[in-house]
Amino acid sequence: MYKESDVHQIDLPKRIVIGTKVREDLPRHLKELDIKGVVIIITGSSSTISIGDEIRSILSNHGYEVFTFKTREPTIDEVRKIVNDVLKDHLKPKAVLGVGGGKAIDVAKYVSKELHTDLISIPTTLSHDGVASPFASLKGMNTLVSIKTTTPLMIMVDMDYIIKAPRRHLIAGVGDLVAKYTAVLDWRLAHNLLGEYYAEYAASLAIHSANHVLTSWEKIKYGSEEGYRVVAEGLISSGVAMCIAGSTRPASGSEHLFSHALDFVANYPALHGEQVGVGTIMMAYLHGKNWRKIRNILKNIGAPVTARELGVSEEKIIEALTIAHKIRPDRYTILGREGLSWKAAENLARNTGVIS
């Protein structure tokens, strides 16, 4: 008998544009996607405000009525303030454009969901795969996990913006991509042991995203435009894998739980992608996979691979490992239901060189 729970709906981005100066064609793309009239732009830090202003000017010159909102932190309070301002002024936007890094785009995703509008993702850095996924992480919601929001209708990656971003962000994006190895292993484990839904195609796409950067690490290391494109394509593919799976499973596993736990015990010590990269090294060890290869490539491109390089004490690494399994008790990973003892966590971190 048919049940609503048997239905698996997949919402995918309709258009993906990557290239130099593609921002100049944004009005044409929006019109072809039937987005006309009023749009709102959400930007983040001071470094992206000027980019938001440029996007606003381009759209205004082509007949769009554009309103810009600046967000300081990805919090539910920021979302509510923006939504209330939009409703109070009766703006009725056709789309929300997230312009910036992960924080601005996460806020834009949730605002888009609340306003029931289309979402356009315009990343200015390549630090993680949130640029293409329908999931957002916001503070102030009593949760450390991602919430399903709106799938971007369009993703526009202008290489002029990306290349100007701090190189550290690009390296963090690589860390977030190699995490797909252990995320998929955890997902498959939960499927085999607990019968959890597993989408082979989504898993394969996520693994392909990881392979794409690992086989091109030298291009990324030396900062070629091709290297930047490899990371951009990998992050977008990972986001699409999450759209297909209907969850963050293909992209987020025990390595992300470690990162969230580290945020909790050490107050966000490093970039998300940097932390999950280190987490991937350790979780690959637990899975019995080639953790040394992952560690060596991350090290070669300049990513942190030790506690010191992350800027945290060795004790915080161990503590995070012992509580990581509690972050999402509903999500089964290689950490199991009971997690790691202090001694087991210390041995894991020491054996992989994360602590000395």
Look at 254 and 129; give whichever has higher pLDDT: 254
The token pair at 262 is: 């580290």
- Does residue 135 register a pLDDT over 70? yes
Q: At a CB cut-off of 8 Å and minimum separation 6, what does 349 contact?
A: 282, 307, 314, 317, 318, 321, 355
In whole angstroms, what is the distance from residue 170 CA to residue 326 CA? 30
Residue 72 has pLDDT above 90, yes or no: no
CATH assignment of 4-164, given 3.40.50.2000, 3.90.1150.10, 3.40.50.1970, 3.10.180.10? Answer: 3.40.50.1970
Rounded mean pLDDT, 141-167:
87
Query: CA 111 from chain center: how many Å?
Result: 17
pLDDT for 1 equals 38
Q: Domain 167-351 belongs to what topology?
A: Dehydroquinate synthase-like, alpha domain (1.20.1090)
pLDDT cut 70: percent of the chain above it: 97
pLDDT at 145: 63
Would you list the DSSP string of 150-172?
A: ---SEEEEEHHHHHHS-HHHHHH
pLDDT tier at 4, thresholds 50, 70, 90 = very low
* Confidence bin at 142 (pLDDT 50/70/90): low
Average pLDDT over residues 153-167: 95
- The string of pLDDT tens digits covering residues 269-283 is 999 999 999 999 999
Residue 57 has a pLDDT of 97
Best CA proximity match to 157, nearest among 191, 190, 122, 202: 122
| pLDDT per position as a tens digit, 168-227 | 999 999 999 999 999 999 999 999 999 999 999 999 999 999 998 999 999 999 888 899
103 vs 123, higher pLDDT: 123
**What are the extents of the domains in the chain?**
4-164, 167-351
